[in-house]
Amino acid sequence: MNWEDNVRKVVPYTPGEQPSYRKMIKLNTNECPYPPSPKVREVLQNFDADRLRLYPDPAASELVEALAARCGLKKEQIFVGVGSDEVLALSFLAFFAGKKPVLFPDITYSFYEVWAGLYGIPYRCPALDEEFHLKKEDYLTENGGIIFPNPNAPTGLAESLETVEGIVAGNPGSVVIVDEAYADFCGCSAMELVNRYENLLVVQTFSKSRALAGLRIGFAAGSPKLIGYLNDVKFSFNSYTMNRLTIACGKACLEDEAWFGETVGKIVSTRERMKKGLKELGFSFPDSGANFIFARHETVPARELFGALREAGIFVRYFDRPRIDDFLRISVGTDEEADCLMEFLKDYLEKRKA
């Protein structure tokens, strides 16, 4: 017998490339192109490093209470974790323990499939329609749980609150998780449904609209019963998942609504400029409600464009997967970065025609 016979073998998630070139335009991992709130900088400058010798509050109470106040919920309805990925991973463990298949779309965040494989969770992937929308009826069938992003990744399409509520209401015997990593950019959230449905868990992140991807803060909102079960799993895994500095920075970020509104507004404005520019260059795409655009060109293969952009130091995301292998996912950067992208694409496409 070989020791490797006892090893759990899984196919891991592949994150976006993190290049470190001096001059580059990084539009491949949907990070915020702007610095965090000045209130976060104040915390970093004034933080007492001596406090790091002590364990952090395992309940992250200050951050939980701040989130509860902002969401209009009780603190017993909030769970925080090290990025929304940890929140989602623990949610898979907590809520998808049955024998029936969990449902998530065929084109979606690829980590769902990884977690299902890691934990031995059966799953099924209903196909999005030809325009990349969910088909609600596919989720009104027997299942062991449901999860989907809204807006979806990598398509950027947002489903209506009516569609989301129809799926939640139609599955009272299952936990429905709505992954809202990009919801701040479309203004549509299922957060307002949390008090109506005991089986709904809404997950959000500080990595996109709040510019704190490097600190890793995610949270979930749900009924006290759901959050209780989630905490049971967390405290069976690691009591101290979030450090003191992260808790302080997260709380400070929530206190700066003016910065948040301005930052989201700038990203949305640039996104709309990018949509117009890409259309003029012969690209088509679903109408994004996120901080990225999922685009294909009418004549030039996505793989070719991906390589050409990369050589020019412009990084976007390419997925070599069925149904989406002719699309590029392009994060929204600053106006200056968007202009550089458009100038390169215009020049490349013109030279290609010649």
Domain locations in the chain as residue ranges = 3-35+258-353, 38-256
pLDDT value of position 172: 97
Report which secondary-structure segment, H or E, holds 179. strand 176-179
Q: Is 341 exposed, middle or buried (0-12, 13-18, 19+ CB in 10 A)?
A: buried
Distance between CA atoms of residues 286 and 303, nearest Å: 19
DSSP letters along 129-172, please? Answer: -TTS---GGGGSS--S-EEEESS-TTT-----HHHHHHHHHT-T
pLDDT value of position 19: 80
What would the two tokens of residue 263 be?
A: 């930052």
One fold for 3-35+258-353 and 38-256: no
What are the backbone angles phi and psi of residue 12, rounded to the nearest 5°?
-75, 165
pLDDT value of position 354: 72
pLDDT value of position 18: 81
CATH fold of 38-256? Aspartate Aminotransferase; domain 2 (3.40.640)
Q: Residue written as tokens 């998530």? A: 104
Closest CA to 153 of 303, 52, 293, 18: 293
pLDDT value of position 8: 83
CATH of the domain spanning 3-35+258-353, picked from 3.40.50.300, 3.90.1150.10, 3.30.1490.20, 3.30.70.20: 3.90.1150.10
Distance between CA atoms of residues 250 and 306, nearest Å: 35
From first to last of its 354 residues, what are the pLDDT tens digits of the chain? 788 888 888 888 778 778 877 789 999 999 999 999 999 999 999 999 999 999 999 999 999 999 999 999 999 999 999 999 999 999 999 999 999 999 999 999 999 999 999 999 999 999 999 999 999 999 999 999 999 999 999 999 999 999 999 999 999 999 999 999 999 999 899 999 999 999 999 999 999 999 999 999 999 999 999 999 999 999 998 888 899 999 999 999 999 999 999 999 999 999 999 999 999 999 999 999 999 999 999 999 999 999 999 999 999 999 999 999 999 999 999 999 999 999 999 999 999 887
pLDDT value of position 152: 98
